[in-house]
Amino acid sequence: MNIKQYTFVMMFLVGTAYADNEIYIDQVGDGGVIEIIQDGSGNKVGGSTSDTTKMLLDGDNMDFNVNISGGSNNLIGKIIGTSTVDIDIDGSTNDLLFDVDKDNTYGAGISES
């Protein structure tokens, strides 16, 4: 294998190692429209279940649409208010962790430490 072929192969391998995506959302207010489409594996919308980087949607009349396709993806967050949520997940070993609390009566919006 010559140096050009070796370089091309290494660029491909390094590129796939860093292909995972992470999205953090903190939306407060009424009437927001959020649409997320992720294809592939190892993607994350939100942060960790154990810290304050969870996605937060706080408001009324929001439209939140998520379409995730692939494996080992995470969708972690909190929803406070009366919003429309449409989640479509296709694949295996995907995690969906949400706190939903229309009036924040039970503390879905309280940050964990």
What is the tens place of the pLDDT at every residue in 77-86?
888 888 888 8
Q: Are 66 and 88 in contact (CB under 8 A)?
A: yes
Total tally of structural domains belonging to the chain: 1
Q: CA–CA separation, 52 vs 95, rounded Å?
A: 18
Structural domain boundaries enclosing 60: 20-101
61-73 average pLDDT score: 88
Does the residue 52 lie in any domain? yes
CA dist., res. 13 & res. 5, Å (int): 13
Specify whether the CB–CB gap between 68 and 94 falls below 8 A.
Answer: yes
Residue at 41 is within a domain: yes
Q: Is 12 domain-assigned? A: no
97: amino acid identity, one letter: L
Looking up tokens 């294998």, which residue turns up? Answer: 1
On whether residue 109 sits in a domain, the answer given is: no
Tell me whether residue 47 is in a domain: yes
pTM over 0.85: no
